[in-house]
Structure formats: C-alpha cells, structure tokens
Amino acid sequence: MAFEATDVEQVRQGLRDHDYLADEGLATTLFLALKLHRPVLLEGEAGVGKTEVAKVLSRWTGGELIRLQCYEGLDSGQAVYEWDYSRQLLHLRAAEATGIAATEAVAELEDELYTEKFLVKRPLLEAISSSAEDPPILLIDEVDRADDEFEAFLLEVLSDYTITVPELGTFRAERPPIVIITSNRTRDVHDALKRRSLYHWVEHPDFEREVQIVQLRAPEVPERLTRQAFRGLGLYKPPGVAETIDWAQALALLGTEKLTAATVDATLGTVLKYREDQERVRTEGLDDLAANAVLRGG
C-alpha cells in the first residue's frame, strides 16, 4: 500500500522516529505538501538540516531518494536525460559485424538507437518516470546555485510533472514525486518558483531545541554539548547542527567526561571549519568556552 500522511502529528512523529526533530511549522508544511502534491522550498543558512529533511522523508515513506545537486552551468542534459552515445555506437558496430546493417533500412536502424534502451535518465526524468508504489523523494539541492534559465525550466517541469523526449514522447508522473527544494539564499529564488511551492524558512534551533537534537542524534554522548558556547563571538561561519553533533560524538569517542581547554583546542576542527574562527575562539579563552559548553544535566 502506498504511503499516505494522515495529519501533522503523524508527520512530526514519523520524522522523529527517523532522528529528525521538526518544529510545528516544518511538520505542517510537509503535511500540506504531501496532501496537495506541491513542492516544498526550504530556505535557511547552511547546516540547519534542509537537505536532511529529504533524506529522512525517504527513510520514513519508503520512497527512493533521487538527488539533483545544483551548480552554476547545470543544464537540462545533466538534469533530465541524455543519450548513451557509447552504447549506440556499439550497437551500430554490432549491426555491421553481423551483417544486419546491410539488410536493415537505414531509418529502421536509426530508430533502434533512440529507444529507452539507450536513454540515460537523469534525476528529473528518473523521478517523473518512476513506477514505484511509493513516490520518490526528489531533492533539488541548493537551487540558488543554478542559473536563472535552469530555474525557469525547473518551474515548467514542476508545473505538471511531465517531460517530453522528442524521440520517445512525453513522460508523465503516475504519482507526483515528493519534491524538496533547498536554498542557502546566496541569491533570491524567483517569485514564480516560490508561488509554485510551499515555503518554509529553516531557522537555527534555539538553545533548548539544539539540546534535544543532540540527544536524539547522538544518545551515546554523555556530555550534552551545543554551539551555544560559540554564540556571540562574531564568528565568520558559526557551526550548524551537523557540526554540533560531530563535535559531541568526537568528544564521546575520545572518552571525554569533562571538557578542558586542551580537549576543546584539540577538537575545534570538528566544529569550526575556518582558521579565523578557530583563532578567534582561542583568543577569547578556551577555559571559559569549556566551562560554558557543558549543558545542565549532562
């Protein structure tokens, strides 16, 4: 039986069961997207868990995760489909070697080259042509890195979930994929795409929520650590949730029971990824940082 969402609480619990702690706003947005078959546009700073939403949805719903990583210069051939020219050439050579090419009409031989056998489906076509019982999760990651032209093309595809391959005809989704679009807002996404999608801004979690996330994702960590210790230091790139979890797990693997300045200094590379930020933290004083990083009840 295909996956169906019944209410917002089911969505929130389903994500939690797969180690993602969603707030009410995100759970509601995802529920509405599942019922209305609309894409979800998640914006927010890097490291707040936007991409993870799609991964968790895949594990929860059973739908295949199909990822399209966006970048400058991405075109439809890389995102939709292309022909396997090497296999087509081998097919022609085999036809020549067996004598088939001499007996078949040229037009018939050419037609054989443009069948699904030689079609390489890229993420957009793969998601739309899927015949799986549970719809795939189509993750369009960092759409703000793609060009305006590709974003316009993407809007066209998502408007009716169809893609036309001139040699084969039109592929139409039997069931629309669950589409998660992420953006780090390095540029503004066009209003047309926002209108087509349900929108949610993913905030950095507050102190208490980050504690809960670390407890959920890294229950083996005895000392509940958060990036609260790094706030207010004017960092170039404050750590995200993923770095917080990495740091907590690193300390657990090292057998750390009580943070010291030496331990913080040795493990800064798991949580701060810029030399300038590491130097700033060291300048501010590692002893105070160690004292503030241990959560109450840890």
237-293 pLDDT, tens digit per residue, is 778 778 888 888 888 888 877 777 888 888 888 888 888 888 888 887 777 666 666
How do residues 121-148 score in pLDDT, each as one tens digit?
999 999 999 989 899 999 999 999 999 8
Using the predicted structure, report yes or no on whether residue 17 has a pLDDT greater than 70.
yes
Is residue 146 within 8 A of residue 71, CB to CB? The reply is: yes
pLDDT greater than 80 at residue 210 = no
> Which residue(s) pair with 271 in the sheet?
none
Q: In the Cβ-directed half-sphere of 224, how many Cα atoms lie within 13 Å?
A: 16
> Token pair 């316009």 is at which residue?
152
pLDDT-derived band of residue 236, with 50, 70 and 90 as boundaries? confident
Per the DSSP assignment, residues forming a β-bridge with 199 are: 41
pLDDT recorded at residue 238: 76
Residue type, 157: V
- pLDDT for res 237: 78
Query: What local confidence, expressed as pLDDT, does residue 295 receive?
Result: 47
Q: What residue spans define the domains of the chain?
A: 8-80+122-201, 81-118, 207-293
pTM, two decimals, is 0.81
Q: Which residues contact 78 (CB under 8 A, 6 or more apart)?
A: 122
**Across the chain, what does the average pLDDT equal?**
85
Q: Please give the average per-residue pLDDT across 234-239, as a whole number.
A: 75
Q: Which residue's entry shows tokens 């939403």?
A: 53
From the candidate CATH numbers 3.30.200.20, 2.60.120.260, 3.40.50.2300, 3.40.50.300, the one assigned to the domain spanning 8-80+122-201:
3.40.50.300
- The residues near 153 (Cβ < 8 Å, ≥ 6 apart) are 76
Q: Which of 35, 45, 43 is nearest to 180 (CA)?
A: 43
Token pair for 56: 């968790």
268 versus 194: the higher-pLDDT residue is 194
- pLDDT of 264 reads 81
The pLDDT assigned to 97 comes to 73
pLDDT at 263: 83
pLDDT value at position 216?
78
Long-range contacts of range 25-31, CB-CB < 8 Å, 24 or more positions apart? 25/200, 26/53, 26/200, 26/202, 29/198, 29/199, 29/200, 30/5, 30/57, 31/5, 31/7
